[in-house]
Amino acid sequence: MRTSTIRCFSAAALLVGLLAPFTSAAPVAPTILTPGGYRVSTNVQQVPEGGRIAHVGNDIHLIAANGTVVHVASNVKPAATKVKAAASPEETGWVTYAYWLNTGSSPISSFTTTWTVPAVPATWHGQTLFLFNSIEPSTGDAIMQPVLQYGPSAAGGGEYWAVATWYLYGSNVFFTNPIQVSVGQTLNGIVSLVGQSGSTYNYDSQFTNIGGTALTVDGGEQLTWATETLEAYSVTAASDYPTGSTVFSGINLALTSGTPSVSWSHVDDTADGLSTSIGVNGATNAQITIHY
Ligand SMILES: *[C@@H]1O[C@H](CO)[C@@H](O)[C@H](O)[C@H]1NC(C)=O
């Protein structure tokens, strides 16, 4: 495996977070790993079960199931850099992925994907793997994603697979309580449009077959860029990945006006032998495979 920017970046971020060695400079805030890379930990919030998120002006409210606002992220700016990194996926850990951008006037109303929890990797070096379907706004300053995770992240985790639903907007990150899943278990990740008011959109994302993973975001930007992604951090050997492949199947994209015409593109990490192939193209029962 080549000398990886991912590895250097994560090691540096951990050191910055743990040691904060500078005395004259402003204090360096601890960072923590999310599917959007390393983020300032005070901006990362777990969503209480049954809770939801609402954009309110330039703020983001985290609302518990009983209606109490339990956290306010004030005056949130869109990210200076995009959550996605189409030009150099290594920078934020997007190793290989497929994507489709909805350029039509009608929004995506639902995006489903089914996959199976892979075998655990042969080696453990503290690596983190994320596998997910996701949607971002065209600006790339947010992402909504039902995520399968192996290894540690802000949500917890370790030498096992777990699922959580994540929403990132600007520098702020929200996730549901991670739930451990078994090798071979079937996952059904979905993002659905559940409401619209003017130019703001309400979405729900979850693993439909796993309770406690639902996350609703009200008043967000329209989500247009759909992906099927492998993201990784602190991988030091090919054996830190599962062997073989992960097949994303049952990929269905619907618009509020019907079925779009979809052709998936993909980005590979050929240097490390990681790639994405489009087995069945289109918007209905598409199939996309991540090869390790
Ligand atoms: C509402 O839920 C939050 C989060 O679970 C909790 O901290 C708070 O005490 C609850 N408030 C009431 C009034 O029940």
Q: Which pLDDT belongs to residue 264?
A: 98
Please check the confidence at residue 85 and state whether its pLDDT lies above 80.
no
Specify the pLDDT at position 173.
Answer: 96
Residue nearest to atom 8 of ligand 1 (CA): 68
Q: Are strands 172-176 and 44-47 parallel, antiparallel or unpaired?
A: parallel
Please give the distance, rounded to the nearest whole angstrom, from the Cα atom of residue 68 to the centre of ligand 1. 6
Query: What residue owns the CA closest to ligand 1's atom 14?
Result: 66
Helices (H), the chain: 5-19
What are 229-266's pLDDT values in tens digits? Answer: 999 999 989 999 999 999 999 999 999 999 999 999 99
Quick check: CB of 66 below 6 Å from ligand 1?
A: yes
Mutate to test the pocket of ligand 1, among 45, 70, 71, 177 (most ligand atoms within 8 A of CB): 70
**Binding site membership of 70 for ligand 1 (Cβ less than 6 Å):** yes
If you take atom 7 of ligand 1, which residue's CA is the nearest one? 70
Ligand 1 in contact with 71 (CB < 6 A)? Answer: no
How many angstroms does the Cα of residue 70 sit away from the middle of ligand 1?
A: 8
Residues 121-145 have pLDDT tens digits of 999 999 999 999 999 999 888 999 9
> Considering the chain, what percentage of its residues have pLDDT values greater than 70?
86
Provide CB contacts within 8 A for 126, sequence distance 6+: 151, 152, 234
What is the pLDDT at residue 27? 65
How many angstroms separate the alpha carbon of residue 190 from the centre of ligand 1? 28
Residue 48 CB–ligand 1 contact under 6 Å: yes
CA 127 to ligand 1 center in whole angstroms: 35
Question: Model confidence over 188-224: pLDDT tens digits?
Answer: 999 999 999 999 999 999 999 999 999 999 999 999 9
Cα–Cα distances in angstroms (integers) from residue 173 to residues 79, 99, 155, in the given order: 12, 22, 11
Alpha-carbon distance of 171 to 98, in angstroms, equals 24
86 lines ligand 1 (CB under 6 A): no
Question: Would you list the DSSP string of 107-135?
Answer: PEEEEEEEEEPPPPPS--SS-EEEEEEEE
- The pLDDT of residue 160 is above 50: yes
Q: pTM of the entire structure?
A: 0.87
**Cα–Cα separations (whole angstroms), residue 26 to 11, 16, 23, 81, 236:** 21, 12, 8, 22, 32
Does the pLDDT value for residue 167 go beyond 70? yes
- Quote the pLDDT of residue 75: 83
Distance, CA of 255 to CA of 102 (rounded, Å): 9
Residue 26 pLDDT level (bands cut at 50, 70, 90): low
